[in-house]
Structure 1
Amino acid sequence: MIRYIRRAAAFCLLLLVALLANAARVQVFEADALDNNPANRRTTIARYSQPRGDIVVGDEPVTGSKDTHEQLAYERTYRHGPLYAPVTGYASQTYGTTLLENAEDSVLSGTASVLAPLPLWDDLTRDRQPGGDVVTTVRDAVQRAGYEGLAGRRGAVAALDPATGAVLALVSSPSYDPERLSGTGSSVTGAWAELNGAASQPMLNRAVRQTYPPGSTFKIVTAAAALGTGVVSDPDAATDTPSPYVLPGTSTTLPDEARGCEKASLAEAIRVSCNTVMAHLGVEVGLKDLVRTAEKFGFNEDDLTIPFRVARSNVDTDMSDDQLAQSSIGQFDTTATPLQMAMVAAAVANDGELRRPHLVDRITDHDGDTVRRQGSDSYRRAMEPETARQVQRMMVDVVENGTGTNAAIDGVRVGGKTGTAQHGVGNTGTPYAWFISWAQDPDSGRPAVAVAVVVEDASADRADISGGGSAAPIARAVMEAALAEPG
């Protein structure tokens, strides 16, 4: 009899071990798959059961949460939604998250490990902390200056602190109110269809996700390459460039919109924006060295994040000499985001050192204690300090005596470069107006701000003047705001 009891007990023990093993398999090894199963509503309900952390500009949150008293309780709200949409993105119960709402979702939703009281606490308890806050580097006055300057026109503004890489403004116009997408129901799906169907593409983040031909603003990169490789040793010396210039290997002539470009010096070519000189110098620099210089500024980078992804700015690595000539003046297949061109201006202003652009200053927990801080990191050395100082002098001349006088600020050292980018079939589209610039208060030992502005629907009588007429005044307003509100 005892023998049968022992066998029964052993069998029960075996069943118990099997039960525990299965429970462990489900709770440990299959937990993530079950949590992420679309049929599992518990995770979604838990996600919206508490207020979401906020995205902060300065000392003020630009987001919030409201209790809807429904199953998905808390819904995202936005203060000044269209102004900050290129920074925040949206957090939608229907369509997910984008931009900062996506990149810092674990912090905002309370699942980030840095918010837990102890290491691995949330993994062990399967708990969710109150949402943390994401404090940005954006300055309200600088953001507003760019937004109001565009005034609803299609275009973008990006502004950086050259000394730290902090993003001071990301503006995209026209914009949209992300709160329209926050909840569920027909109003949200209707808003989604309307916004995605709009010809003006208000949900496109033109500052970081749209690339444009940079036009003559790219001549700053070409100038840095010409000086850095020794093709030009004296920027004030005459060149041997004819005007018009016949593109190598073709019978196509490249004209100049500006006067006095024949045999003009590099400095004069930048001041009045001579296409011929810069195209000729680009060919003399050569494909390899021009591409290498552009990549030092951040071109051809696939993995740049701020923390959300920035679209790749492109300079082709395989071109004929005539294509290289066109690329050297920001045409052919050369494209750039406004943020990329702000990085070009920032590198020049910061004596050739390009700091890594970043949008987040720090992460705080629900009690306001800092749990993570973003430092200032070096990204690339774009050029040697002496080269940078030569380019600075030429950009200052553009603003004081050249095509960029509309960006001048009394008592402030300002450098800039205008640009007009042709596009469309046969260049039939309205040219994009560009202006890149930087400003340094004479009382400061470091540059205050670097800016890039692009206006898609600009109009002008001649190339390179539209950048000075349409984009430069916006850049000036952004620089004035940054100088008036120092970090």
Structure 2
Amino acid sequence: MNKELRRVSIVVLIMFLALFGSATIIQVFQQPNLKADPRNVREFYASFQTQRGAILVDGTPIAQSVPVNDAYKYQRLYADGPLYSAVTGYFTLNQGSTGIEGAENQELSGTGSDQFFDQVNAIITGKEPEGASVSLTIDPKVQKAAWDALGDYTGAVVAFEPKTGAILAMVSKPTFDPNVLAGHDTKKVIATYDQLLHDSGDPLINRAIAGRLDPPGSTFKLVVASAALANGYTPDSTFPNPPRLQLSGTNTYITNSEGGSCGGADTASIKTALQYSCNIPFAQLGKDLGYDKVATQAKAFGFGDKNLTVPMPVTPSVYPSTNGDPARQELSSFGQGDDRASPLQMAMISAAIANGGELMRPNLVKSITNPDLTTKQDFAPERYGQAVSPDIAATMTQLMVNNVDNGAASNARISGVQVAGKTGTAQNGANNQLPYTLWFTGFAPADDPQVAVAVVVQNGGGIGKAGFGNTLAAPIAKKVIEAVLSR
């Protein structure tokens, strides 16, 4: 009898341990997955019944939860919603969340694993649960300057501090008002979301970091020039200077943007080609360097990084393999072909050069604060990598200053300030039948950089192929730089 009882007891104990282990795995180790599962309706509704933490810019809420008299208890309210939409994103009943709302959802909703004891304390004390607040690095004056300068153009602006990576401005247009997605009328929210989703202007896409990336055009010459300096070339290295060049192995010819030869001499140096933004010398330079050397440099600046976040995910910029095709290599060497880049990526190139070659990781979040106002987390500047050597960074700075002072980036000039910059006017579509994409990237002051900026104006700025990076994008960047320097 004792033997049989012992056997039953052992079986019961094993079953108990199995049940305990299974419950532990589900409740503890699988907790993050359960929280993230879109089928978890309980978690979904609970997030709306919590006083979600605020998103702050310079101490002022640009997103906060306010009490309402319905089943959800709180509704999200966005101050200056369109101005900050590329940063905040939206938080909705039925269509998920984006931007900081999505990237910092657990902190804002108070459901992070490290906030467990706060949740338990709220239950014991009977106090309404609250989420943490997220303070951003955005400077409201710089954000407004970028917003105003971009005006009605389709495009984006991003600016950040080269020394810290702190993002000061992030604007994308066309935009939307996140308040229209924050309501609790499900049918109305879904109808509004569908309207925005199918809008031809794609207002829900943050063009500063994501979406359909554009060919960087001549701004990519900064990458090729940096690769050249790292591989034995100097600014005075020269190339043949014809008015047009036949792409290797094809019947296609390329020209410089202004037509004619680059500077009028029989040869053109890297310095001259960068100054006047000439395509033909860079096509020859890129072919001479070869794919691997240019690709290595592009990767050092951040191209192809699938893990980059700010903390929102960033669509990787692309310097594609040319598969040993010299014509594709020539096109890619002045930012055409299949090259694609985001404004953030082009700002990272300028920031690395500005910071002595050291690239800091771009970041939007300054700190996270608990409901009791204690600091939960401070974000220190983080190094991304050494993109170029200090010597190359110094040489590239001189070349970029020359672009603004004496070359094709003249509309970025600021009286009394040395601005370093590079413009781009990228062709689109087969046989160049679509409007240009217009670019500027740069930094200032050149001797003590406070800001790196990139601007993209899509769809030709509404004037087809009549505009250039210097005429439309450079003046926008100038106003953003001035806003930073006047703080």
* Aligned residue in 2 for 1:268: 272
Report deviation, 1:306: 1.1
Tell whether 2:30 aligns with 1:28.
no
Report Cα offsets for 1:71-106 as digits up to 9, x if no partner.
Answer: 222121111111111111111121111121111111
Greater shift in the superposed pair: 65-74 or 284-293: 65-74
Q: Tell me, what secondary structure is at the counterpart of 1:422?
A: strand
Tell whether 2:96 aligns with 1:96.
yes
Q: What aligned pairs does 1:456-475 form with structure 2 within 5 A after superposition?
A: 456-458=458-460, 466-475=468-477
* Aligned residue in 2 for 1:377: 382
Cα distance in structure 1, aligned partners of 2:114 and 2:142: 31
Tell whether 2:308 aligns with 1:301.
no
Asked whether the 8 Å contact 2:401–2:418 carries over to 1, the reply is: yes
**Residue identity in the other structure for 1:81:** G
Q: What aligned pairs does 1:327-366 form with structure 2 within 5 A after superposition?
A: 327-366=332-371
Tell whether 2:418 aligns with 1:416.
no
Q: CA RMSD in A?
A: 3.2
Structure 1 residues 39 and 268: alpha-carbon distance in aligned structure 2, compared to 1, 3 A threshold = closer
Report deviation, 1:458: 2.9
Report Cα offsets for 1:407-439 as digits up to 9, x if no partner.
Answer: 111111101111111112321111011111111
Instruction: Please list every run of 5 or more consecutive structure 2 residues that lacks an aligned counterpart in the other structure.
Output: none
* Aligned residue in 2 for 1:284: 288
Structure 1 residues 399 and 323: alpha-carbon distance in aligned structure 2, compared to 1, 3 A threshold = same
Greater shift in the superposed pair: 446-455 or 62-71: 62-71
Q: Tell me, what secondary structure is at the counterpart of 2:66?
A: strand
Structure 1 residues 324 and 172: alpha-carbon distance in aligned structure 2, compared to 1, 3 A threshold = same
Report deviation, 1:257: 2.7
Structure 1 residues 369 and 36: alpha-carbon distance in aligned structure 2, compared to 1, 3 A threshold = closer
Q: Tell me, what secondary structure is at the counterpart of 2:367?
A: strand
Cα distance in structure 2, aligned partners of 1:461 and 1:131: 47
User: Which of 450, 453, 478 is residue 451 of structure 1 equivalent to?
Assistant: 453
Report Cα offsets for 1:47-83 as digits up to 9, x if no partner.
Answer: 2222110111112111011222222221211111111
**Residue identity in the other structure for 1:223:** A
Report deviation, 1:318: 3.6
* Aligned residue in 2 for 1:477: 479
Asked whether the 8 Å contact 2:436–2:467 carries over to 1, the reply is: no
Asked whether the 8 Å contact 1:116–1:129 carries over to 2, the reply is: no
Structure 1 residues 56 and 281: alpha-carbon distance in aligned structure 2, compared to 1, 3 A threshold = same
Equivalenced residues, count: 474
Tell whether 2:317 aligns with 1:316.
no
* Aligned residue in 1 for 2:222: 220
TM (normalized to structure 1)? 0.89
Tell whether 2:199 aligns with 1:203.
no
Asked whether the 8 Å contact 2:76–2:91 carries over to 1, the reply is: yes
Report Cα offsets for 1:14-73 as digits up to 9, x if no partner.
Answer: 999799779847853444588777776543332222211011111211101122222222
Q: Tell me, what secondary structure is at the counterpart of 1:435?
A: strand
Cα distance in structure 2, aligned partners of 1:91 and 1:377: 28
Q: Tell me, what secondary structure is at the counterpart of 2:341?
A: coil
Tell whether 2:410 aligns with 1:405.
yes
**Residue identity in the other structure for 1:58:** D
Report Cα offsets for 1:162-208 as digits up to 9, x if no partner.
Answer: 11111111110010011211133222111111101111110011000
Cα distance in structure 2, aligned partners of 1:477 and 1:387: 28
Cα distance in structure 1, aligned partners of 2:305 and 2:9: 60
User: Which of 429, 438, 443 is residue 433 of structure 1 equivalent to?
Assistant: 438
Indicate the percent of aligned positions where both proteins have the same amino acid. Answer: 37
Report Cα offsets for 1:380-431 as digits up to 9, x if no partner.
Answer: 2111111111111111111111111111111111011111111123211110
Report deviation, 1:123: 13
Report deviation, 1:136: 1.1
Report deviation, 1:152: 2.5
Report Cα offsets for 1:306-345 as digits up to 9, x if no partner.
Answer: 1111001001124311111100100001100110000011
Greater shift in the superposed pair: 262-271 or 280-289: 262-271
**Residue identity in the other structure for 2:305:** E
Q: Tell me, what secondary structure is at the counterpart of 1:433?
A: strand
* Aligned residue in 2 for 1:79: 79
Cα distance in structure 1, aligned partners of 2:436 and 2:51: 46
Tell whether 2:164 aligns with 1:160.
no
* Aligned residue in 2 for 1:44: 44
Cα distance in structure 1, aligned partners of 2:153 and 2:393: 33
Q: What aligned pairs does 1:38-187 form with structure 2 within 5 A after superposition?
A: 41-115=41-115, 129-184=129-184, 185-187=186-188
Asked whether the 8 Å contact 2:461–2:467 carries over to 1, the reply is: no
**Residue identity in the other structure for 1:75:** Q
* Aligned residue in 1 for 2:394: 389
Structure 1 residues 390 and 364: alpha-carbon distance in aligned structure 2, compared to 1, 3 A threshold = same
Greater shift in the superposed pair: 427-436 or 261-270: 261-270
Greater shift in the superposed pair: 351-360 or 32-41: 32-41
Q: Tell me, what secondary structure is at the counterpart of 1:96?
A: coil
